[in-house]
Amino acid sequence: MKLLKSFLVAAMLFALPMTLPAKEITLLNVSYDPTRELYEEFNAAFAKYWKAKTGDDVTIKQSHGGSGKQARAVIDGLEADVVTLALAYDIDALHDNGNLIPIDWQKRFKSNSSPYTSTIVFLVRKGNPKNIKDWNDLVKPGVSVITPNPKTSGGARWNYLAAWAYALEHKQNPQEFVKALFKNVPVLDSGARGSTTTFVERGIGDVLLSWENEAFLAVNRLGKGEFEIVVPSLSILAEPPVTVVDRTVDKKGTRAVATAYLNYLYTPDGQRIAAKNYYRPRDKKAFDAYGKFFVKTKLITVDKVFGGWRKAQKTHFDDGGTFDKIYGK
Amino acid sequence: MSRNGVIGGFGLSMGYTLLYLSLIVIIPLSTILLSAMSMSWSDFIATVLDKRALLSYKVTLLASLAAAAVNLFIGFLTAWVLTRYDFYGKSIINAAVDLPFALPTAVAGITLTALYAENGWVGSILAKYGIKVVFTQTGITLALIFITFPFVVRAVQPALEELEAELEEAAESLGASKFQTLTKVILPLISPSLITGFALAFARGLGEYGSVIFISGNMPFKTEITPLLIITKLEQFNYAAANALALVTLLTAFAVLFLLGMLKKYIRREL
């Protein structure tokens, strides 16, 4: 009892400074892997804007990792004020497991809560020796395709759905089409970065299915002059969504600043920073300014073709879904 | 031995042991059991006896056994060299033995893959002879050999150090050949440590994830390890199924550790 008392006193002493009015605000943004550079730049810009507007200092901490893993960390108690993940399914999970956010979270911010978008392109070796032009070239015998495992990688799920949509568009049996495509996949890395390494460093495969921003990174930095980007006739509009985590902001009282933080992504300044980091801005001006980074092709959406992420995940990637059928005997 | 040792007697030290064991080992592990038990019995069976799961056990078990067996041999040899000979740079090699423990497992996986891939400098030589390592079962075993290497060395080394040179001299003077001295005198005496090293290496191999996924290729039904299946269950936020598979791994490891422990006890009695 005495021990408990002294413990409580100690705990209160530690807690006391936190209850004093604080001008110093800290936000935690839990994001996925390739957004590191984007948010480093964006956080500095937002802190400056917030200081000028309210006089308060705001520090934004970042956490990066695989999108699904990050969602689980938040579900398991990581106190994220905002999450900025790779796909809506991972944010849906915050509602489905523990009710951290309302079910209609995607309506809270503009453009499906996705301030920037991306797409999937092909990266081929210099001179395109296998003459790969479109999705139907990927199912030909003798072509080796590199993509991560859709079971573990958010990026790979976009690849898979893009191939599926292509088959639908060309009146082919989509299940047979993806089966033929994955027959040409010699290795399934667990994440997008792993696949890029397999293709670029190990020299395995004729074509890499890649995020547009990763492809530009590979072309411009990893191996200058060794790779070319091929734009298929159809691809998918990847919409990485963002949201405020109600459980955290209500507890910490940071709802206003967290909301302002995400809204700032939609301002011309936020859009410019996204475009500079190879993410497609929604804002036309920013898009035009960095237009050379973005390929032009027909883009389909998960909502229109697949009826949203919940349905797509259940049909294609959950156990017993169409992806498992490819390898089922 | 007196019941009151230097660290405060049986009651206190046992109390602390149980407390720490509970907080750090038993309670976390029992949550696995609880979570797996939240499934219905038929779901549990369907999850752990699924064909894909069964094949992943096979891949994981075979690779772990092979790696532990290889390390039994190389580990013994390394420990022998380190205890029996003095040579220049010995302390450096001695320290290097533990590096696989210190290295982040992902780094180990990436390095091994780079080296043994068909464009890597070991892999390109092997490729000439038609041997493929990366993205095969061999690759998984290779990663596990690397990761679990220190176990056998560190288990056997103290036993070898304690072994008196007189024993070997006595065996020799009684007419034993070198081979007989090794198999009839030395190996039986250090066999409990060899078993410990083997058991630790095997159990560690069952759970290894970080290094293996880079080198295994992760092809369903072929080179998919059980820990990868656990991760794919987690990606679907299916905690119960992930814990069901974890439970199978855990029970396998426990059974093997327990049986080898019994074997060790039996051997000690015979000696």
Sorted by sequence, the CB contacts under 8 Å of residue A65 that are 6+ apart come out as A32, A33, A73
A205: left (phi over 0), alpha (psi -120 to 50) or beta: left
**Alpha-carbon gap, residue B211 to B114, rounded angstroms:** 12
Looking at the fold, whether B133 and B220 belong to one and the same domain comes out as yes
Looking at the fold, whether B18 and B47 belong to one and the same domain comes out as no
Q: Which tops the pLDDT comparison, B126 or B236?
A: B126
Kindly report the average pLDDT of chain A as a whole number: 89
Looking at the fold, whether B203 and B229 belong to one and the same domain comes out as yes
* Global ipTM: 0.74
Looking at the fold, whether B176 and B214 belong to one and the same domain comes out as yes
pLDDT of residue A11: 55
Res A9 pLDDT > 80: no
Residues in B touching A96 (Cβ below 8 Å): 237
Considering only CA atoms, which of A111, A86, A51, A67 is closest in space to residue A271?
A111
The neighbour count for residue B103, using CB atoms within 10 Å, is: 15
The neighbour count for residue A211, using CB atoms within 10 Å, is: 25
Looking at the fold, whether B75 and B57 belong to one and the same domain comes out as yes
**Alpha-carbon gap, residue B10 to A315, rounded angstroms:** 59
Per-residue pLDDT tens digits for B5-51:
677 778 888 888 999 999 998 898 898 999 888 889 999 999 999 99
| A11-116+240-293 and A120-236+297-327: identical CATH topology | yes
Please state, in angstroms and as integers, the Cα–Cα distance from residue B198 to each residue in A15, B65, B142, B153, B163, following that order: 49, 9, 16, 10, 20
Looking at the fold, whether B16 and B83 belong to one and the same domain comes out as no
Considering only CA atoms, which of B63, B66, B72 is closest in space to residue B152?
B72
Q: Indicate the pLDDT class of residue B235, thresholds 50, 70 and 90.
A: confident
Please state, in angstroms and as integers, the Cα–Cα distance from residue A168 to each residue in A70, A150, A254, following that order: 32, 19, 45
Looking at the fold, whether B44 and B30 belong to one and the same domain comes out as no
Looking at the fold, whether B135 and B177 belong to one and the same domain comes out as yes
Q: Which tops the pLDDT comparison, A9 or A137?
A: A137
Residues in A touching B113 (Cβ below 8 Å): 202
Considering only CA atoms, which of A42, A96, A41, A34 is closest in space to residue A65?
A34
Residues in B touching A151 (Cβ below 8 Å): 232, 235
Task: Provide the H-helix boundaries in A20-99.
Answer: 36-54, 67-75, 88-96
Sorted by sequence, the CB contacts under 8 Å of residue A247 that are 6+ apart come out as A98, A100, A101
B50: left (phi over 0), alpha (psi -120 to 50) or beta: beta
pLDDT of residue A196: 87
pLDDT of residue A17: 47
Q: Determine the number of helices (DSSP H) and then strands (DSSP E) in chain B.
A: 15, 0
Per-residue pLDDT tens digits for B62-83:
999 999 999 999 999 999 999 9
Res A282 pLDDT > 90: yes
In the numeric block, the tokens 């690397």 are attached to B146
Q: Indicate the pLDDT class of residue A295, thresholds 50, 70 and 90.
A: confident
Res A50 pLDDT > 50: yes
Res A290 pLDDT > 90: no
CATH code, A11-116+240-293: 3.40.190.10
Per-residue pLDDT tens digits for A150-184:
988 888 999 999 999 999 999 999 999 999 999 99
pLDDT of residue A4: 56
In this prediction, residues A83-97 reach a mean pLDDT of 93
Please state, in angstroms and as integers, the Cα–Cα distance from residue A60 to each residue in A30, A67, B227, following that order: 10, 19, 34
**Alpha-carbon gap, residue B123 to B167, rounded angstroms:** 44
- Domain-by-domain residue ranges, chain A? 11-116+240-293, 120-236+297-327
Kindly report the average pLDDT of chain B as a whole number: 90
- Would you call B236 and A317 a contact, using CB atoms and an 8 Å cutoff? yes
Res A7 pLDDT > 70: no
Q: Is A96 on the interface with B (CB under 8 A)?
A: yes
Residues composing chain A:
329
Residues in B touching A188 (Cβ below 8 Å): 217-220
Looking at the fold, whether B147 and B64 belong to one and the same domain comes out as yes
**Alpha-carbon gap, residue B217 to A182, rounded angstroms:** 13
Mutation choice for B interface testing from A32, A76, A183, A187 by most B CBs within 10 A: A187
What is the residue range of B21's domain? 1-37
**Facing B237 at nearest CB: one of A93, A327, A329:** A93
CATH architecture of A120-236+297-327: 3-Layer(aba) Sandwich (3.40)
Residues in A touching B49 (Cβ below 8 Å): none
Q: Indicate the pLDDT class of residue B4, thresholds 50, 70 and 90.
A: low
User: How many angstroms separate the CA of residue B84 from the nearest CA in chain A?
Assistant: 41
Per-residue pLDDT tens digits for B89-133:
999 999 999 999 999 998 999 999 999 988 888 999 999 998 989
In this prediction, residues A128-139 reach a mean pLDDT of 95
Task: Provide the H-helix boundaries in chain A.
Answer: 2-19, 36-54, 67-75, 88-96, 110-113, 154-169, 174-183, 192-200, 212-217, 246-252, 255-264, 268-276, 284-289, 302-306, 309-312, 322-327
Q: Is A226 on the interface with B (CB under 8 A)?
A: no
Looking at the fold, whether B33 and B94 belong to one and the same domain comes out as no
pLDDT of residue A303: 92
Res A8 pLDDT > 80: no
Looking at the fold, whether B73 and B90 belong to one and the same domain comes out as yes
pLDDT of residue B138: 94
pLDDT of residue A329: 55
Q: Is B100 on the interface with A (CB under 8 A)?
A: no
CATH number at residue B252: 1.10.3720.10
- The DSSP secondary structure of B110-155, one letter per residue, reads HHHHHHHSTTSHHHHHHHHTT---TTSHHHHHHHHHHHHHHHHHHH
Residue B82 near residue B90 (C-beta atoms within 8 A): yes
The neighbour count for residue B46, using CB atoms within 10 Å, is: 15
Count: domains in chain B? 2
pLDDT of residue A6: 59
Looking at the fold, whether B51 and B16 belong to one and the same domain comes out as no
pLDDT of residue A20: 46
In this prediction, residues B176-191 reach a mean pLDDT of 88
In this prediction, residues A212-224 reach a mean pLDDT of 80
